[in-house]
Each structure stands twice: as structure tokens, then as C-alpha cells.
Structure 1
Amino acid sequence: MHTDTESCVRAVRSKDARFDGWFFTAVRTTGIYCRPSCPAVPPKPENMTFHPSAAAAQQAGYRACKRCRPDATPGSPQWNERADLTARAMRLIADGVVDREGVPGLAARLGYSTRQIERQLHAELGAGPLALARAQRAQTARLLIETSELPMADIAFAAGFASIRAFNETVREVFALAPTELRTRAGRGRAGARPGARTDARPGPAPGGAAVRDRPAPRPGAGLPGPGSAPAPATLTLRLPYRAPLHPDNLFGHLAATAVPGVEEWRDGAYRRTLRLPYGHGVVTLRPGPGHVACRLSLTDPRDLTGAISRCRRLLDLDADPVAVDELLRADPVLAPLVGKAPGRRVPRTVDAAEFAVRAVLGQQVSTAAARTHAARLVRAHGDPVDDPEGGGLTHLFPAPEALAGLDPEKLALPRSRRTTLTTLVAALASGDLALDPGSDWRSARERLAALPGFGPWTVETIAMRALGDPDAFLPTDLGLRRAAAACDLPATPAALTARAAAWRPWRAYAVQYLWATDDHPINHMPTG
């Protein structure tokens, strides 16, 4: 979109927040870049240039606006809507793959050469994978500086910087402030805010003041911690922004109704769960709020912050573009009243695609309650025990495929055919023959899943919708969807319903959410307790 100057200028002049993340506005006369909805007086059109990413604006020599904080916008919805190479790469970069494995690791996961990846990202985003990952590190550092009491050396390490010098230089270059100045400025802003006031809908301090680490970490010596070491565990509170509107009922209701005991729970008006992360594990508490989702993260290693935030955003589908989705679905006279009643429905997704694939198999042809029971048995027998830092009911991480690869199928309280389906799936996941991650190619993953025994269209499309994040995944054989279709005078047979749903593409997964919500099932209602 950044090449359409006229449309970009109109969006900036109207301060249209719908375009935040789609492009960034750089101002030649000030040397800063902003989000389209920046509250400052719009610059003259001749002084504006437009960039497809924050990294591209930074590479062009522009600094982030201190007022609208363009680096903290919701991610571009393109990366969750598309299945091409650029979108897959961006999903993996957001998950921290470049920080952990470098550009060669990113290229290996995508099945391309590093040169191809560099060329493609430069062509579309104006920056390569290293610059994109650097921009993300800068935002992670800013988040930790402003919302925690971590020492600066620990923050540099947790944000993925290779040295204190690189950390200091990047923060100064991107934000035009030293790290200590950023912290001081954030402290003044909190002191001047009304108690409980929400200043904006970006990651940052929770309403009512800063949320800081529960236990201060020991300050390391000069430089970063040594090899193999890591900062102490941290607990942070932040806001996850989203594009309005967001209707939370089916989103949180689904997660609460399908929660696996020990791994997930609904407690005190919030969804909580354990997270298996690259450097350790964590516990997250998510609560919908006005203009944001309040997120409390307890991490055994703060280096997992970027990946944890990315997974939480993916879980709640927070980078979706509800205006575009609802506009298309409203064109259907059957869906129009459903969208008008509760606009902004999201697709409940997952923090771990492999975990969800296992749970999808356990849920084949059984009730929600039975699926939870089967999953809880696996968790107790094979999951890694953890402590709940808030004294709740979270006791385990969901078992990794490697832990399930050696399970005895005779001990599974499942029909024999489903035992075969489950053991074949976990063997493929554990061996790497089947890869399910943010960078997965949706078509290829579907083909590999369909080739496994016991994987019919319902299971494959369920995994595509909730684990892979395909916004066009469709479940015409789902009993709940067929009942809803019949109640709305839509075709009820799978073939006829699929033909009728062609007009809903590429948002059929969202149409499913609106149709499911016509049923008065607990899964469609956010718990009140």
C-alpha cells in the first residue's frame, strides 16, 4: 500500500487507525516516522514519504515518533492473511527465529537460500531479515525498559542484543534517547497520569501504573551475562493492542470451554495457560480490556519475551483486520445481521501448533468435555510439571511431541484407529517429517496431514484454521456448522455449503465463527466468573 501515495496521504490526514501497521509515514523536515493515526498535526504532503515497515523507515535514517510510537503498532494483518514467502518469513521473524537461529536458520525453515530470502524481503519491505529482527529487538528493549525494573544489561541480553554497545546504539538510533532516558521519561508519564487512566492502546504499563518484575534480578558484572547464563525469572504486565472492533465472547469463551486442566484455566475473569518457550517456560494471564488485552507474563527466562508476545497475539488473532473481514461478510444477506450484532469476531487460535494438532486428534468425534478429559490424561502422564507463580491451577506444560513419541498406545483410552492416528502424528512431529510452525506452508502442511492415517477433512481444516492460522480454512462437515447453516437457511450438505461459501473467501474461517455463535453453547460465551 505504501506505493499508493494518494491513499496514504488521505489515511494520514484522517488519522485512520485502520492503516496502522500497513505503512509508516516518514517526515523529511523532522527526521521522524509515525503511524498513520499519529495525533500530531499532519505534515504537508510534499514532506511525507511512505515505507512498508518500521525497519525500512529506520534504515532510511528516520527515528520513531515519541508521541505515536509507530514501532508498537499492531502487526500488519498481511502476515496472517497471506501464505507466500514474505508472510511466512515475517511470522517466523516475529517468533524470534532470526534472533535464535540467524538468517540461515530462517532460510532453512522456509526452504529457500539466504540470498532468496534477503532479496524477497528487500523487494517488498525495504529491509532484510536482520534489519527487521533489529527493529523487533528495539521494540522488545523499549518494552522492558519502560515496564520493568530489569538492569539494562539484563534487558540487552533478554532483547537479543549481542552486546551492551549494540543495545545502546540501537536504542539511541531508533528512539533518539538513551536507554536510561527512556526509562526516566516513562516514569514521568506514569507519575503524571490519572490513577487507573489508560493512556493508549499499545504495549506499555498497565492501567494504574507500571507493572514491574516481582523479584529483582542480581545485576551482572560488566557486559552481558556469560555464555549459558540468563537473567533471573521475570514477571511483566503489558498491553496487547489490536484493531477495533474486537468481540471477545466467542474468543475467550472458546478458550475457556476447551481448556485442558493443568495447562489452561479460566480464573478471576481471565484466561491463563502455561507456555513452552525456546529458552524456558512461562505462564500467561490474558484479560480483555478497552482497546487492548491486558497481558501478564511470568517467564523463567526474559529472552522469551518476544516469542511469548508473538504467541499470545497469534492465540487471540490480534493482528486481524476486522474492518476488512466484516465488510466482505456483511455483503451476504444471511451473515449481515450476525456481523451487525457482534462485529469484530476473531478466530481462537493456539500458542503451539503441534500441541493443537494432538488435541484435534483427541477431539475427533467426541464432545468438548471428552476431548478435555483425554488431553488431561496425556498431560498428567507426559507433561513437564511447573509451578504456578500466582498459586492457581496450572501444573504442567503440554507434552512435547518428543515426549509422546514413545507412549504405549495400549494405555490410551481411545479406539484403536484413533490410537494409530495419534501415534503416527506424534512420530511425524517428533522426527521433523511434519513441521507445524508459524512459517509453515499452508498447502504443503494440509497435504502432509491428509496423508496420515485417520486425518479426514474436518481434522485437517481444524488444524489449518486454529494451528496454522489460515483465515480461509473451512469446515463444511462440522456438525455445529451444519446445524447453524440449516438454522440460517443456508445449504446444510457439505458440497452445497462449500459452494455457497465461495463468496466469503478469503475469510471463511471468520464466517464459521459468526455461524457457530448462533448456537447457545458455552463455547460462545465468555465466562462471568
Structure 2
Amino acid sequence: MDFWQRYRAIDARDTRFDGQFFTAVSSTGIYCRPSCPARTPKAENVTFYETSAAAHEAGYRACKRCLPEAVPGTPAWNIRSDVAGRAMRLINDGVITREGVDGLAHRLGYSARQLNRILSHELGAGPLSLARASRAQTARTLLVSTDMLLADVAFASGFNSVRQFNDTIGEVFAMTPTALRATGAKSGVRRGAAAPTALTLNLPYREPFDPGIFDFLAVRAIPGIEVARSEADGTRSYGRTLRLPRSTASFFVVYNPSTPGKPLQLTATAVDLHDLPALLSRVRRLFDLDADPQAIDEALGMDPRLTGRIKTIPGIRVPGAVDPQELLIRAMIGQQITVAAARTALTQLSVVGSLAGAPSPGLERLFPTAAEIAEHGRELLRGPRRRIESVIAAAEAMATGALELGYGDDVAALERKLLPLPGVGPWTVGYVAMRVLGAPDVFLANDAAVRNGLRVLPPGADLSPDFGEVSPWRSYATMHLWRAAAKPKDS
């Protein structure tokens, strides 16, 4: 978007652009979200920034009226596969807090100096400033949503000290942490008391939101590791255990369409405070909560094969992954067999997973590590010998560190890492890219369910068989085809 497109968006107070850019006003010294209800500033006083960190760096403070940090993240970090996009995915996962700028730079294949120069040029702020803004956003969420002690909020947000936390909150929001917490009490956002090991909060997202993602996760849920429920009133829930950088945890996400605002509510238990930023980032990725569904649906709706489905199922999401290594194993086991058969095989394999540290009802185990699969997989997996050996080879490579994959990869890097593995082909790489990276433009043409979904859609004789017309949103077209294959009547 150019300056005047963005200016028209803020003049219209268009909520679709909240989180996608930030509006700084020189006459007031503050920055806002595009939908801020304040009077539209004069164009000559406005500067637009890609990130809130860039606005901080330029000396602006967050608006107390529109709270620009309380918005979904920008979808650009999934759309962009360049260094800036890959860096933001890792920063949001807490890599700088755990490994520092040098660790982030090493993961991306650059020196710290090069990375600082790239991010400053592309995003208007260096990696430390971007991480600081991410911590401030997490802190604001915890302050207004929970009754956690201020010291617990500080460390849960990734700050190294309470003093650093207080200074940052004051600089970013021009408020003390206590005053910022009071804004949540006034708006009725806050919930009951939360212990340091458990918290409940709402997850912001852009409307519309298709709850069908809960069904996708439910049919693939592994007993003991995942739990999914659907109630008669339309309430959906999904929970699971997972490993985080410093600890293990479990969480539940609940969607109730009858609740005002239709919030997605996250409840996390038995989580180390230092791992909260990573947990929040991974849950958001799992439910694709930073997507811009109106822009996606508008593009998909231009294809006559999908027009009817977009009207029926607006806001479809691409499920992410909370553990890249786990997702690769699941993809390899699930290729060329049905979803039900894959779930059975994964259930058999799951018995070697470690017991959860603080089990919840229905959540007793963790998904097996790569080392556990490498050691016990041959005894538990059934099927063609070549497929079993392929899974074991991949598990051994991940267990020894010969194969590393994560949120900082791009599609080309995944291809280089995965295609040499036995039993891994383009379908596996594409599926992993969709779910681990959130790659928006993957079309799994050889997938059996995709072919079945095509038979349900209206014909498109003059259109590209790979849905090239809707690029860069073909991952979402794939989700519609899977849904059509599973529930043809939805169309």
C-alpha cells in the first residue's frame, strides 16, 4: 500500500488493517492503529510504520485510546519468505530472549551486524527493538487479562528484570504497569485470579473466523495428547500437550459463537513463565489468527469455482503447527493413507511419549520426541517397510541434529532439507510448508482429497488447474477443497 491508500484506510477507520501498519502523528507524538476513533490527523503530520517497534524507535508512544498493541499480528510475516519475515517469526517465538541476537542471526545465516542492517532497512527497527515491542505486547495482554503478579508478568513477557519491564511499559505506553492494568478492569477484560502456572485470556483475530479449523484438528487428534470437543450450542474446543523451549505445558482453546464478540479463549496450565511468549505465538500460528480473511476471501471469491464456497464458509484458516519436528513425522506417516489410518498409526506410536508433567483430563502424554521415535518406532509402526524406514531415518536425523527445521525456514530451505530424505516428496514438503511456515501459496495438486474436492466444485474449463488465479492464497484454496471433499453439502 502507498501513503494515500493507507491514509484512506485510517480516514475510514478500517479495522481490517489493524496490526498491518501503524500511524504515527508528529503533532501529538503518539502512534495508533488504523481504526483509531480519534479525529483523522492532517496528512502532513502522518508517518506510517511497518511495525510498532519502528514507531517506538522514532520516539512515538502508543495511543491510550485505541491501544495499537492489542490487535492481531500482521499476516505479512507468513506471506513474506524473505529474511525480515523469517526473522519476525523467530522473534515472536522468543528466540532473541533465549539465544540473543547472535542466536537469531545464526539461525538465519547472517552476521548480527548484517541482520541489524537488513531489519532496520526493511522494518524500521533492529532485532532488539522488535523483540522489545513483542515483549511489550505480551506484557499488555497479561496485564489487562490476568491478575498475575507484576513480577510474574515481567518475566513471562521475556524481560530480564522488573526494572527493565517498568521502564519499557512507561516508554511504550506512557503509563505504569499498574495504570495499564486498570484499563483492563475498566473495560471488563480481566478475569479471575491466575496463578503463575495457569492463565486464561482472549486471543484477538480478524473477522470473519471459520470454526471449521476445530473440526480439522479434531479428526486428527491423538488420544492422550490432544482433546477436541463440539457442543450442541456450537461451542468448540481443542486442547493438547506440547514441549516448549524450557518446559512442557498444556492448553485449551475454546470458541463459543454465542459469547459477545465471539472470542477465542486460551487457558494454559503448567507452563514455565519464560515460555509464555513462545506458547502464545505457537497457539496463534496453530489457529492462523494473524491472517487477513477479508483480503483472502476477496481474492478467492474471484475464482468462479470457489465463489459459492466463500459465501458459505467465510474466514477459512490454514492450521499451523506447535512443533515442527512433530509435524514432519505426522506428515510422513499420513501421506498416501487416510486421515483415520494415520490417526491410528500415530496413536500406536504415541505410547512411547513421555508422561505429561501436570496431566489434565484427557491429556496425559507428550508427543514422542525424535529420539523416542528413532528408538521404538520400528516396534510400533505398521505398514510397508520402506515407509517405516523413512520415518525412522527422518527421526534419527532430527534426533542427532543432522536435520533441523523450524519457523525460520522458507519453502526453498525446506525443499533442500527434506527432499533428499527417503520417502519425502513434493507433497510432504508442501504440507510441512503450509503448517509449519504458514506458507499461504501452497497447492497440493496430487493430494487425493484435493482431487476429490475438485469434483465437487463447479467446472473451470478456462482456469488454471493449480488455481494460479488466486495466488498467493492457494493454501486457503487447498483448505476449501479439503472441506469440499469431506463435506460436499457445505457448498
Same fold, judged at TM 0.5 (above): yes
**Distance between the aligned counterparts of 1:385 and 1:309, measured in 2?**
19
**Distance between the aligned counterparts of 1:485 and 1:27, measured in 2?**
49
2:190 maps to 1:234: no
Number of aligned residue pairs = 482
CA deviation profile, 1:82-140 (whole Å, cap 9, x unmatched) = 21111000000010101110000001111111111111110011100000000111122
**Distance between the aligned counterparts of 2:454 and 2:278, measured in 1?**
38
Q: Report the Cα offset of residue 454 of structure 1.
A: 1.0
Instruction: Specify the SS of the correspondent of 1:388.
Output: strand
**Distance between the aligned counterparts of 1:45 and 1:379, measured in 2?**
58
* AA matched with 1:145: L
2:224 maps to 1:262: yes
1:478-489 matches, cutoff 5 A: 478-488=447-457
**Distance between the aligned counterparts of 1:60 and 1:523, measured in 2?**
53
1:186-225 matches, cutoff 5 A: 186-190=184-188, 205=189, 209-213=190-194, 215=195
Q: Report the Cα offset of residue 77 of structure 1.
A: 0.9
1:242-253 matches, cutoff 5 A: 242-249=205-212, 251-253=213-215
Q: Report the Cα offset of residue 524 of structure 1.
A: 8.5
User: What is the aligned-residue RMSD (CA, Å)?
Assistant: 2.3
Look up the match of 1:518. 484
Instruction: Specify the SS of the correspondent of 1:15.
Output: coil
Name which of 359, 364, 371 aligns with 2:330: 359
**Distance between the aligned counterparts of 1:164 and 1:515, measured in 2?**
50
Instruction: Specify the SS of the correspondent of 1:174.
Output: helix
**Distance between the aligned counterparts of 2:488 and 2:471, measured in 1?**
28
CA contact (8 A) 1:17 1:37 kept: yes
2:173 maps to 1:141: no
Look up the match of 1:34. 32
1:272-287 matches, cutoff 5 A: 272-287=239-254
CA contact (8 A) 1:76 1:319 kept: yes
Instruction: Specify the SS of the correspondent of 2:249.
Output: strand
CA contact (8 A) 1:273 1:394 kept: yes
Name which of 416, 421, 435 aligns with 1:452: 421
Q: Report the Cα offset of residue 384 of structure 1.
A: 3.7
Cα distance change of structure 1 residues 379 and 411 upon mapping to structure 2, 3 Å threshold: closer
Cα distance change of structure 1 residues 129 and 377 upon mapping to structure 2, 3 Å threshold: same
* AA matched with 2:251: V
* AA matched with 1:246: F
CA contact (8 A) 1:440 1:468 kept: yes
Cα distance change of structure 1 residues 293 and 433 upon mapping to structure 2, 3 Å threshold: same
Look up the match of 1:58. 56
Q: Report the Cα offset of residue 341 of structure 1.
A: 1.8
Q: Report the Cα offset of residue 304 of structure 1.
A: 1.2
* AA matched with 1:344: G
Look up the match of 2:473. 507
**Distance between the aligned counterparts of 2:145 and 2:439, measured in 1?**
33
1:24-423 matches, cutoff 5 A: 24-190=22-188, 205=189, 209-213=190-194, 215=195, 233-249=196-212, 251-267=213-229, 269-289=236-256, 290-389=261-360, 392-407=361-376, 409-423=378-392
Cα distance change of structure 1 residues 524 and 156 upon mapping to structure 2, 3 Å threshold: farther
**Distance between the aligned counterparts of 2:283 and 2:218, measured in 1?**
15
Q: Report the Cα offset of residue 317 of structure 1.
A: 0.9
CA contact (8 A) 2:304 2:460 kept: no
**Distance between the aligned counterparts of 2:429 and 2:441, measured in 1?**
13
* AA matched with 1:234: T
Instruction: Specify the SS of the correspondent of 1:266.
Output: strand
**Distance between the aligned counterparts of 1:431 and 1:94, measured in 2?**
26
Q: Report the Cα offset of residue 7 of structure 1.
A: 1.5
CA contact (8 A) 2:78 2:437 kept: no
Cα distance change of structure 1 residues 491 and 31 upon mapping to structure 2, 3 Å threshold: closer
2:433 maps to 1:464: yes
* AA matched with 1:302: L
Q: Report the Cα offset of residue 490 of structure 1.
A: 4.7
Q: Report the Cα offset of residue 433 of structure 1.
A: 2.6
Name which of 1, 11, 14 aligns with 1:13: 11
Cα distance change of structure 1 residues 497 and 461 upon mapping to structure 2, 3 Å threshold: farther
Q: Report the Cα offset of residue 500 of structure 1.
A: 4.3
Instruction: Specify the SS of the correspondent of 1:320.
Output: coil
* AA matched with 1:254: F
Q: Report the Cα offset of residue 480 of structure 1.
A: 1.3
CA deviation profile, 1:278-331 (whole Å, cap 9, x unmatched) = 121211111225453211111431111111111011101111122222222222
CA contact (8 A) 1:79 1:90 kept: yes
Q: Judge which range, 145-154 or 502-511, deviates more.
A: 145-154
**Distance between the aligned counterparts of 1:102 and 1:497, measured in 2?**
48
Cα distance change of structure 1 residues 524 and 104 upon mapping to structure 2, 3 Å threshold: farther
CA contact (8 A) 1:384 1:398 kept: no
**Distance between the aligned counterparts of 2:426 and 2:460, measured in 1?**
18
CA deviation profile, 1:325-351 (whole Å, cap 9, x unmatched) = 222222211111111221211112211
Q: Report the Cα offset of residue 396 of structure 1.
A: 1.0
Q: Judge which range, 159-168 or 145-154, deviates more.
A: 145-154
* AA matched with 2:477: A
**Distance between the aligned counterparts of 2:240 and 2:226, measured in 1?**
4
Look up the match of 1:221. none
TM-score (norm 2): 0.93
User: Structure 2: 5+ residue runs without aligned partners?
Assistant: none
